[in-house]
Structure 1
Amino acid sequence: MLNTLATNITRARQQLGLTMEELATKVGISKQAISHYENGVRHPDSTTLSSIAKVLDKTIDYFFTAHKVSFQLNNVNYREGMALSLHQRATVEELANNALSGYMELEALAKENKPFENPLKDTAPIQTERDAEKAATLLRKRWKLGEGPLHNLVDTLEKKGVRIIKVKFGYLYTHEGLSGWADDNKFPVIVLNDRPQDVCRVRFTLLHELGHLLLIMAEGLTIDMVEKLCNVFAGEILLPNDILVAEFGRNRTAISMIELLRIKQLYGISVHAIMVGARRANLITFEAYQRWKASDQDYESGYYLGEEEPQRFLQMLYRCLSENKIGFDKAAQLAGRSEAEFRNIYIQKLV
């Protein structure tokens, strides 16, 4: 009950956009007292709770009721998901929304539902491949990503405020994932298909979907063109043109597989995407690119040793558990497991 009270005071305050200090001033108590109430350290007396309820425009019963946070993805985009039937799309989106609701509920409990600021919101609408490349360069600059290889993209995106969730869509769904906005376009979400995939493909999917989230596309573009521009955006972030030129030089008549595998292992981008980038940067001619495509090359050869696994959800879950904001029953529910199964996993991590 105490955790429910603490969570609901926080939620009601945040809904009105008040800081703890502003709420404390309106109620006539200290900021420290509000902090204690929201962290479950102390319980407000009936008079204080009545004052808090009045300021926050809530009933007393509201603060003692467990409220399930419900979020929906909107402006949904798919990577290679256009072939899904309407029924399949509905199933996939329902699974994604269910996972998202649990994720955002945990955010509220952990007080980690930070707003997101689109770093590309002031850019002109994207119409050409060059526009997409410029947007990628600008993103690297504004997010201070440097000019070299980007390791652990999931961690980078999660720290920037992008919610990343993995969902088992089932064996019928072979597309890579989808993206959208939750809670009236406040929170960007990328949902990855939880199935065995090449890490380089996962990385490209993450940035392709990031393109859907951040880029403002010009009116009148076809779906195919939008997908292509998101691919250009993803490729340019992973392996900028300047790096391609520095690595390969200009006016190449061919690029060897040994060279391509070295770049794949270093930058975490597929051999095929490297060659597409080289052609786009005019490092090789169209004829040379076509000869390479027609050759008996293994596009999936070579390995990138990095990992791309979302960690933020588990970090919030274990934090809330350790701070007694939730119990094992609630933690198991949010993790989508039975309580016994979750306890076993938790104990194994301690060993």
Structure 2
Amino acid sequence: MFNKNLKYYRLKNNFTKTKLASMVGVSTMAITHYESGERRPDMPVIKLLAEALNVKVTDFLVSRNENLVFSHEEFRKNGKLNKSQQDYVRESVEEYFSRFFESVELLGGEVLPEAPRINTVDLSEDIEENALRLRRYLKLAESGPVGNLMELLENKGVLVYMIDIENDGFSGINGTVNDRPYIAVNKNMTAERLRTTLGHELAHFAFKWPDEMDENQKEKMATAISGAFLLPEIDAKRELGVHRKSIKTDMFMICEEYGVAMSLLVMRAKNCGIINESVCRNYFINLNRTGGRKNEKSRIPMEKPSLFPQLVYRAVNEDEITIQKGAELLQIPFEEVANHCCFVGA
């Protein structure tokens, strides 16, 4: 797996093949051969590669789970990620879930919840109905706030990964690992945007999308479904009232309760007929004057995946692996794993 690890660390460092080749003193074609697995460099070159990429030689030698079959959703055609960044996202997903499934295999496949079936929900022309169907898909109540969405998805058999990528143009992607759905999201987003992205990607793999629907239409609908999924119409009208003439600060309380940004709440209020088009438009004009949605203040705690660390800590505590191996799997300090693997009261 040297070739896969080399490509992963090169992309993680945002190096082109040419740049890495010049740092190491080999040709660009040599890097291509190393990453394709056609050739393997000798140890002096491997050491130079490790130095250039700021990793240990042993990082190149970490095995990958060859029994995993990945299927990645295509990136949006008008997205802001270049090809190298797209490759990095895919490589990061595969590297992460290779470590994840090593912990699963240590404990037995039964530790994972049954995976939901993908592309099975009929798509309606009505956004509110689609949001209800998405809630039913996850066996949730048809109204009320959705709590920690990331942990909820993990408990429903959906794998979640937070990828560290400095690009506002990337929110998330979905796909499957051995037919089990996954969602990868950009960790450098607000907690509210992260929840909206989870709902958006969930809609992508839950519904049966018509082949003739163009990409822009599909994206708009998935975004609208996500908003209605997080804040159903019945809740919007109960919380806001059936009619409002303006946007007031009391609405921040509803944002916190439902885990959504004010911009999403305003759009939901418009779509549900609570505010008119003019009120909505004026809000976004004022928002754009202050930097737009990217500068909206986050008002809720950040959600994080918990399944992977739980599996690793369990494997350590059941003496399936050492603390050091647990730290390697989670890529965190030894002490952090040790603190989660001691006797209660110790």
TM-score, normalised via structure 2 length: 0.71
Structure 1 contact 103–313 (Cα < 8 Å) conserved: yes
The alignment partner of 2:73 has SS state of strand
Structure 2 contact 113–156 (Cα < 8 Å) conserved: no
Which of 88, 98, 103 in structure 1 is aligned with 2:100?
103
User: Cα RMSD over matched residues?
Assistant: 2.7
Matches within 5 A, 1:36-51: none
Residues of 1 paired with 2:160 and 2:337: CA distance? 22
Identity, % of aligned pairs?
23
Deviates more, 1:325-334 or 1:214-223: 325-334
The alignment partner of 1:229 has SS state of helix
Which of 156, 160, 171 in structure 1 is aligned with 2:152?
156
Which of 165, 170, 174 in structure 2 is aligned with 1:179?
174
- Check 1:77–1:161 CA distance in 2 against 1; reply closer, same or farther (3 A cut): farther
- Measure how far apart 1:320 and its partner are: 1.0
Matches within 5 A, 1:1-351: 68-77=65-74, 82-111=79-108, 112-118=111-117, 121=120, 123-126=121-124, 128=125, 130=126, 132-146=127-141, 147-169=143-165, 171-172=166-167, 175-183=170-178, 186-195=179-188, 197-256=189-248, 258-296=249-287, 301=296, 303-337=298-332, 341-342=333-334, 344-349=335-340, 350=342
Larger Rg: 1
Supply the AA of the counterpart residue of 1:135. N
- Measure how far apart 1:69 and its partner are: 4.6
- Check 1:295–1:68 CA distance in 2 against 1; reply closer, same or farther (3 A cut): closer
Supply the AA of the counterpart residue of 1:212. H
- Check 1:153–1:296 CA distance in 2 against 1; reply closer, same or farther (3 A cut): closer
- Measure how far apart 1:322 and its partner are: 1.1
Supply the AA of the counterpart residue of 2:322. G
Structure 2: unaligned runs, 5 residues or longer: 1-62
The alignment partner of 1:295 has SS state of helix
- Measure how far apart 1:319 and its partner are: 0.7
Deviates more, 1:135-144 or 1:186-195: 135-144
- Measure how far apart 1:104 and its partner are: 1.9
Residues of 2 paired with 1:251 and 1:188: CA distance? 40
- Measure how far apart 1:119 and its partner are: 7.9
- Measure how far apart 1:113 and its partner are: 4.1
Partner of 1:59: none
Structure 1 contact 74–181 (Cα < 8 Å) conserved: yes
Partner of 1:38: none
Supply the AA of the counterpart residue of 1:286. E
Residues of 2 paired with 1:149 and 1:277: CA distance? 14
Supply the AA of the counterpart residue of 2:155. K
Structure 1 contact 72–100 (Cα < 8 Å) conserved: no
The alignment partner of 1:118 has SS state of coil
- Check 1:328–1:348 CA distance in 2 against 1; reply closer, same or farther (3 A cut): closer
- Measure how far apart 1:252 and its partner are: 2.9
- Check 1:325–1:201 CA distance in 2 against 1; reply closer, same or farther (3 A cut): same
Supply the AA of the counterpart residue of 2:320. K
How many matched pairs? 273
Supply the AA of the counterpart residue of 1:154. M
TM-score, normalised via structure 1 length: 0.70
Residues of 2 paired with 1:243 and 1:113: CA distance? 33
- Measure how far apart 1:168 and its partner are: 2.3
Q: Where do 4+ consecutive residues of structure 1 move more than 6 Å?
A: none
- Check 1:208–1:77 CA distance in 2 against 1; reply closer, same or farther (3 A cut): farther
Deviation readout 1:213-261 (Å, 9 max, x if unpaired): 21211222121111111111111111001111112223433232x1321
The alignment partner of 1:99 has SS state of helix
Partner of 1:34: none
Residues of 2 paired with 1:139 and 1:296: CA distance? 30
- Check 1:120–1:263 CA distance in 2 against 1; reply closer, same or farther (3 A cut): farther
Residues of 1 paired with 2:309 and 2:191: CA distance? 21
Deviation readout 1:177-208 (Å, 9 max, x if unpaired): 2211111xx2010112233x321111111111
Residues of 2 paired with 1:67 and 1:301: CA distance? 40
- Check 1:250–1:191 CA distance in 2 against 1; reply closer, same or farther (3 A cut): same
